[in-house]
Amino acid sequence: MQLTGILRLDALCAQHPECRGLVTAWRHEVEDAEWTSLRQVRERYITATVAKDGTVVFRLLQGLYQLATLVRLDKGIVVVERAWSTASDQNAAPQGARH
């Protein structure tokens, strides 16, 4: 698959250097993939949210890092639209917070 939106991955890694190896491994795996169906994506990444329209949110390291993508199987492209850490997401509860 051709991967675009790499600058978003670079920005995530710059902000969270500890995820660089994980994100790099994910990137190489996606670039080497030859997916022909969203089912194949779902089977490989069981924690990913896969929608019929090709929107896929990959959850890395038990969801600590998330990558929102658009997977265009017909064109062989994966577009990274957003990359973030739930630990730094303003909507995420602070560690140790109780509800």
- The span from the CA of 96 to the CA of 9, in Å, is 28
Tokens of 13: 């890694």
The structural domains of the chain, ordered by start, are 2-85 (3.30.2310)
Gap between the Cα atoms of 60 and 75, Å rounded:
25
Q: What is the pTM of this model?
A: 0.85
Q: What is the pLDDT of residues 39-87, one digit of tens each?
A: 999 999 999 999 989 999 999 999 999 999 999 999 999 999 999 999 8
Dist CA 53 CA 65 (whole Å): 22
- CA end-to-end span of the chain: 42
Helices (H), 1-99: 6-15, 20-32, 38-44
